A and B are shown apart, each in its own frame.
Chain A
Amino acid sequence: MWYAIVGFLGGIFGGMGMGGGTLLIPLLTLGLGLPQIQAQGINLIAFIPMAIVTLIIHVKNGLIEKSGLMFMIIPAIIISVIFSIIANNIQGENLQKAFGVFLAVLGVIQIVMQIIKDKKAKE
């Protein structure tokens, strides 16, 4: 039951386009005590049905811009498979620490970008 509740919380942020996974993974590790690699795996799989549903909505709303996407998708797939294998071989505490740094940096970037946006809006 806790997994569904935690998923729901992460999903709300995901649906708002605020990076649900970046919230779901720490909820699963810090909150429910899962190993880092398992939390990452759950996040990847849980993302797929949610993405399909939201994509259908976005396509209907005409918000998808396909041009040039393949230049992003193909290198991204190659790199992500390589680093999936690396992450599965590292696992454990070191992977969790690396993720912690990644998360904190993303948090700082998000706040700084919002401050810049607010300033521009005022001008």
Chain B
Amino acid sequence: MNIFQKSWYNNIMKKTKQKFLEVIGGIFTGFANGFFGGGGGMISVPFMTYALKKEPKKSHATTMLVILPITVFSASTYILKGSIDWSITWQTAVGVLLGGVVGALILKKIPNKILTYVFGLVMIVAGVRMCF
């Protein structure tokens, strides 16, 4: 192999590896979203940051673009299966929308580090309680 073939080959391998990683990330994100009705972002964000080497901020933003179409499909499946009680769903949705805006606005003002630890602990406690 001469030097041109080698760089061409390396380039192809790099692109293939990247696409392979993207498919793997998609599979795990889709599984969480469909089976658990959420948590896809908690897989996709670290995946984009560490495996696809995106900036953390871009990972957070781009994850929304990935999760949105997935959620449209999985939510449709839940609706077709009759698992949605609309009277409480819309109330919750209004709350989530308002909370989301507040969260986005205060993000810069809150010490992120402490929040991450608190949030992680809450998840562990809630998770254990759900098992018993």
Contact = CB atoms under 8 A, between A and B. Distances in A.
Interface of A: 1, 3-26, 28-30, 34, 37-55, 57-58, 61, 63-66, 68-69, 71-88, 96-111, 113-114, 118
Interface of B: 18-19, 22-23, 25-27, 29-42, 44-46, 52, 54, 57-58, 60-75, 77-79, 81, 83-85, 88-89, 91-107, 110, 113, 115-117, 119-124, 126-131
Nearest to A44: B75
Nearest to B18: A68
B92 A28 contact: yes
A4 B71 contact: no
24 contacts: A3-B92, A10-B95, A12-B99, A12-B103, A14-B100, A15-B99, A19-B119, A20-B99, A23-B119, A30-B130, A38-B83, A39-B37, A40-B36, A43-B37, A47-B71, A51-B67, A57-B104, A63-B60, A64-B61, A72-B25, A80-B33, A87-B34, A96-B130, A102-B32
A101 B127 contact: yes
A100 B81 CA distance: 23
B38 A43 contact: yes
Nearest to B42: A19
A42 B85 CA distance: 8
B125 to A, nearest CB: 8
